[in-house]
Amino acid sequence: TLVAPTSMSDIHLSLQQLKRLTILSKQQTTAIVIKYHSTETLQLQLDAISKQQNFLTPQDIHIVCESEKEKEELDGYSVTVNGNKNWFNHIKPDVKSDFYIVIDNGVIPGHGYFNFVLGLLNTPLFHHSLLGTEQEFTNICQQDQAYSVTSISDIWVLRREWFNTLVSQESDNISDVLSLPSILLPTSDSDYQLKGNTENACINVDGGILFYKDKQSDALDEMICNFAAKNLVHLVSTNGISCHHDAVIIHHDTQDSDRLVSKISPRVVIYEEAHDMPTFENTTVIALPTKDIPLVSPWITDLSVDTLEQWHTPQINLIVEVGGKRSDKAKKLFSGLKKAHYMGDRVDLSVVMDEKSDQKTIKAVNGFEWKKGVKNIRHRISGVHPMQIFAEAWYPSNDHEYAVMLDDRIELSNSFYIWLKYNVLKYRYQQQTSSSLLFGISLYSPRIIDTDPSGRQLLIPAKEHSPYLMQAPCSFGGALYFPEHWREFHDYISARLTDQATVKRGSGKLHLFKDSLLTVAKSNKWLSSWRKYFDEMIYMRGYVMLYPSFGSSYSTVTSITRNKKKQGLYELAEKLYNVPSTDIVRELPDLEFLPVLDLHGKQVDKTVLTQRGHQLQQKFSACAPNKNNKHDPSDMLCPFNQLVQVPIDQTSVPTTTIYVG
């Protein structure tokens, strides 16, 4: 039941309610006036008019162009030349037409639009209203209800008496001349033919984005223009921007930022870091250093406003392993860290030195100045397995803390952090439901894979210019790991190592779990490496790591061995590991469009990885695979029942005599 509103500003009717309200009449006559845009557009407009549903053929179609040259192109039509603002004021109204439909700006109406608006104009509620689906920002997605606006634009359905009033005026502002309320009608994808303009793809107005722009700088212009193609953008600037777009609202008052933010309630504010900006409640503020903006602009518009609101949620920490007599390599890595772009983020750094670190290395670590966040130094006092150093270097405190594992054998691209941050935002916060099998992001694009039991193999990419997913962690080159998967790894490796430590080799006693499990991987024989157990876990789970494309590595390996005496033996191999790196970060595909490779670098379907993992788990664990995986490894760690023989004294066995009579 609809309740009559007390005023037009109280109208909040849905599209379905409006459709039920319409009163159709088969007797109403119309004339159509079209502002000429181009020959091609005119043909599309005439075709749309001829296909209008339940609509009488118009009594007249009149075309208005701006020059005699255009008129010559329109031979055979009823044409008037008028270059004035009020371009239809020379047309003589036809007393036989009940309504005039005026079409401007090359609009192509939906096939049900005329009948829909005429049906609403026949109702008492809208009898004296200007109705339409288009307003000043012609491609902004409308609300799900009708509501009162200052004016509508591009296409009008006018009563004859309204049109008579307009042709006698010089003004082109229809709403002001007629003094009628304007009602913006809702649209939807399912009722596409009820749109006044079917050509424009709409953009979101939800919350919006606010930019602050210094009058002396145009660094943000490209980003603003790109955002305007998808979102409503508010710009605070005294001199505007280089592009012109309907979805950019410019505010020239740069003084009262608090009042402006309170008025328009943007969800995200973006500005150059050099500005002084207050903190706004319930608004995400992104301060980008000027030098970082060109590296961010190409991809930031790929992120939704919802995702941009999470800009500061992920905390990405850097974990660096250095040691031995390698102060030169440590300095080179630190230099790369210092030059990198961090987009104004706080980034904490932990440096782990081994027990063999010499004084030069210790001095280099202590002397490295880190201003992006907290710097923490750890120094080991005795040697341990490499797996211990790696696995114990980090443990996440929450589900938004990430670690980038680095060592002094690599050199970093200046954009390594930008690459990681973009991946985390897109695949962890924008595509949460589809990224549960993704355990990390690699900086390095390898040319060699080391998982084949027969030896190292060349990696041939499925798509050379696309990032890809592979069921193997990055041993060289650095990578970011996700917190939930890392905690699961800790629980898994702890159980496996405890079992290995409990039963000594050669004792003849049985382990709870098989020692040799993932026989299809070379890492199965790396008894002192974290990779042995990590590879087992990700194989059973079907987990994958994302790698950059072959031409877009964000790190390179300068040395594959820390033993100087053996470096000459690896000279040829190191050329394959020392891949070229890039500083360019491009827009990423959605996760479902990325190629998937197994642990041997062969392209497969993701479901195949899951099936293989379940098959292995059934051989290794007595528990069925947990399909609702919550990063609890316990289903992979269920030992099978074992028959144990216990020797006993036969004379002590109690017996019972049974008499059968």
- CATH assignment of the domain containing 256: 3.40.1210.10
Let me know the angle formed at the C-alpha of 132 by 59 and 183, rounded to the nearest 5 degrees: 130
Tell me the CA distances in angstroms from 368 to 39, 316, 336, 342, 351, one per residue in order: 68, 19, 12, 17, 10
- Which one, of 35, 196, 44, 180, lies nearest residue 114 by Cα? 196
Higher pLDDT, 122 or 195: 122
pLDDT at 496: 86
- On whether both 303 and 329 belong to a single domain, the answer is no
pLDDT at 190 over 80: no
Q: Which domain holds residue 247?
A: 204-308
- On whether both 568 and 514 belong to a single domain, the answer is yes
Q: Helix, strand, or coil here: 544?
A: strand
pLDDT band at 566 (very low <50, low <70, confident <90, very high): low
pLDDT at 577: 77
Residue 279 CA to residue 661 CA, distance in Å, equals: 97
pLDDT at 286: 95
Residue 22 CA to residue 465 CA, distance in Å, equals: 54
18-27, 110-119, 257-266: which range is least confident on average? 257-266
Q: What is the CATH number of the domain that holds 84?
A: 3.90.550.10
Q: How many domains does the chain have?
A: 3
pLDDT at 504 over 70: no
Residue 350 dihedral angles phi and psi, to the nearest 5°: -120, 130
Residue identified by tokens 């009488």 is: 56
pLDDT at 84: 80
What is the residue-wise DSSP string for 177-233?
HHT--EEEPP--STTGGG-S-SSPPPBEEEEEEEEE--TT--TTHHHHHHHHTTEEE
Domain final residue, candidates 129, 162, 194: 194
- On whether both 184 and 216 belong to a single domain, the answer is no
Structural domain includes residue 642: no
Structural domain includes residue 2: no
Residue 50 CA to residue 325 CA, distance in Å, equals: 83
pLDDT at 554 over 60: yes
Structural domain includes residue 661: no
pLDDT at 138 over 60: no
Structural domain includes residue 94: yes
Give the total residue count for the chain: 661
CB atoms within 10 A of CB 194: 23
Domain final residue, candidates 194, 225, 259: 194
Q: If 0-12 CB within 10 Å is exposed, 13-18 middle and 19+ buried, where does residue 151 land? A: middle
pLDDT at 283 over 70: yes
Question: Residues 521-531: pLDDT tens digits?
Answer: 888 888 778 99
- On whether both 329 and 301 belong to a single domain, the answer is no
- On whether both 276 and 339 belong to a single domain, the answer is no
Structural domain includes residue 160: yes
pLDDT at 308: 95
pLDDT at 383: 73
pLDDT at 2 over 50: no
Question: Residues 30-70: pLDDT tens digits?
Answer: 999 999 988 888 999 999 999 998 888 899 999 999 898 89
Question: Residues 296-307: pLDDT tens digits?
Answer: 999 999 999 999
pLDDT at 512 over 70: no
- On whether both 547 and 596 belong to a single domain, the answer is yes
Structural domain includes residue 621: yes
Residue 561 CA to residue 574 CA, distance in Å, equals: 9
